[in-house]
Amino acid sequence: MRPQVLEKEYKYGFHTKIAVEEAPKGLNEDIIRFISTKKNEPDFVLQFRLKAFEYWKKIVEPKWALVNYPPIDYQDIRYYSVPKTKKAPKSLEDLDPELLKTFERLGIPLTEQKRISGVAVDAVFDSVSLGTTHKEVLEKHGVVFCSISEAIQTRPDIVKKYLGSVVPYTDNYFATLNSAVFTDGSFVYIPKGVRCPLDLSTYFRINNKESGQFERTLIVAEEGSYVNYLEGCTAPSYDNNQLHAAVVELVALDNAEIKYSTVQNWYSGDVNGQGGVYNFVTKRGLCKGVNSKISWTQVEAGAAITWKYPSCILQGDNSVGAFYSVALTNGKMQADTGTKMIHIGKNTKSTIISKGISANESSNVYRGLVKVMPSAENARNYSQCDSMLVENKATAHTHPYIEVNNKTAIVEHEASTSKISADQLFYLESRGFDVESAISLLVNGFCKDVFKQLPLEFSVEAVKLIEMKLENSIG
């Protein structure tokens, strides 16, 4: 019907040539001790890792998600890989120019003159954080924003208190693996009553062909504090699969608010489904205090397979959880994503808005749980799950699980499935829109409720990303 738009190149698919220090492939206690020693960790962290590893050996990979992939050989993965440096760089300016160039190509300039104003960035390259920007301003407000490795050295008290408190090492197969081998990730601490003066953001880059990325992020918002956190992800185009098994833990105390946004654009494999990142991620926020708020906003546009359920435990009375998601799959991508909202406290509220777009031969699953515990008087949930199919071979599934154990709860669920139809395209074309702008208009309309949750620049990026991915997909 229309000429197939040529597959646009994944523009982040380049590889950075850089000398690395790495552990041999494989996973055993020695490797874990090696990682821990390299990072000069206190004993409690090593013990956490070893317990997780012991547990991991006894459990098996979950199979309930609607995704297919060949068995992963966990002994064929490199668990530690960091760029080699002669001496520790004092600041980001002293980094290997190759690394600075890499991040510049990714649109994340790190040097003083070029860095983005209003946003502090933590740049994570394979297993290591390269450093964070805007440190001085943040320090003035008592905000700690650094890599988790650094936090283990400088703020072991906080790390010890909260590490594994939201996602215990026994949580699930991939979280357990992460607990054993996590290398880097971001750490954020917002002191009592502080509204973080900048948006904080972490940019994750996988570079090594054989390494996995096991980042671990911990965000603690003390009473009455506020933080807006963003993360972005890309990886080179390799013909093999890289495993990305991250854990993110958020803790919001009384009256605190955390907004966490992700734009995920990992390499998703070629047209034949060769290569791409396995994005097996556990993200969970604990609304520990009264009136606390946590919101997850995600735009999932990359990765060969996504297995991810950013969730909220609404423990504090009157706490509020939200999940806004756009998941786009094209080519042979598979996504099984959604959320869990666990209502424990009284008058807790949650909102779920999920928009799945599936194109080509991809599979897109929404899987979500709303659970109201007996203690959660007057809990309220509203869920809306919409799927959009772009071609006949694509599939969309919605699996909402609702468990209500308190009669005062009000739980609503709405779902719809639609298609970008030839009629819609022709209608818009006959009003002067070319195919690309017509698709962009349709998709923006479909995702509007989610995009409006993102900070402005991120929202513009997200729209562009989705448009670019879809241009390739409409036949």
Footprint of another protein on this chain (CB under 8 A)? Answer: 1-2, 418, 421-424, 426-435, 437-438, 441-442, 444-449
> To the nearest whole angstrom, how small is the minimum distance from the Cβ of residue 212 to another protein?
38
Answer whether 414's CB lies under 8 Å from 381's CB.
no
Shortest reach from residue 396's CB to another protein, in Å: 16
Cβ nearer to another protein, comparing 18 with 441:
441
The owner of tokens 């993965």 is 77
Q: Shortest distance, CB of residue 383 to another protein, whole angstroms?
A: 18
Q: What is the DSSP letter of 209?
A: S
Closest CB to another protein among 2 and 140?
2
Q: Is 114 exposed, middle or buried (0-12, 13-18, 19+ CB in 10 A)?
A: exposed
Tokens coding 211: 């390494």
Rounded distance between C-alpha atoms, residue 264 and residue 260, angstroms: 13
Looking at beta carbons only, is 2 or 63 nearer to another protein?
A: 2
Considering the complex, what minimum distance in angstroms separates the CB of residue 444 from another protein?
7
With tokens 């060969």, the residue in question is 304
CA atoms within 13 A on the CB side of 371: 13
Could you count the other beta carbons within 10 Å of the beta carbon of residue 86? 6
The string over 292-316, giving b where at least 16 C-beta atoms fall within 10 Å of a residue's C-beta and e elsewhere, is: bbbbbbbbbbbbbbbbbbbbbbbbb
Nearest distance in Å: CB 188, another protein: 33
Q: Give the shortest CB-413-to-another protein separation in angstroms.
A: 19
Cβ proximity to another protein, 18 vs 435, nearer residue: 435
For residue 239, count other CB atoms closer than 10 A to its CB: 11
Give the nearest distance from C-beta 5 to another protein in angstroms: 14
Residue 467 to residue 462: CA distance in whole angstroms: 8
Six token digits for residue 147: 């890599």
103 close to 116: Cβ distance less than 8 angstroms: no
433/439 Cα distance (integer angstroms): 9
Identity of the residue, 91 or 418, whose beta carbon is nearer to another protein in the bound complex: 418
Nearest to another protein of 107, 445 (CB atom):
445
Which of 29, 429 has the CB closer to another protein?
429
- Nearest C-alpha neighbor of 180 from the set 172, 169, 189: 169
Going by their DSSP bridges, the two strands 186-190 and 311-314 should be labelled as unpaired
* Residue with Cβ nearer another protein (35 or 470): 470
CB 280 within 8 Å of CB 245: yes
Distances (CA, A) of 264 to 187, 238, 365, 386, 458: 19, 17, 17, 20, 11
Tell me the residue length of the chain: 475
Compute the distance between CA of residue 82 and CA of residue 287 in angstroms, rounded to an integer: 34
CB of 338 to another protein, least distance (A): 21
Instruction: Give the nearest distance from C-beta 392 to another protein in angstroms.
Output: 16
Number of H helices, E strands in the chain: 10, 23
CB 419 to another protein: min, Å:
12
Q: Which is nearer to another protein, 235 or 390 (CB)?
A: 390
Structure tokens at 315: 């423990």
Beta carbon nearer to another protein, 52 or 326: 326
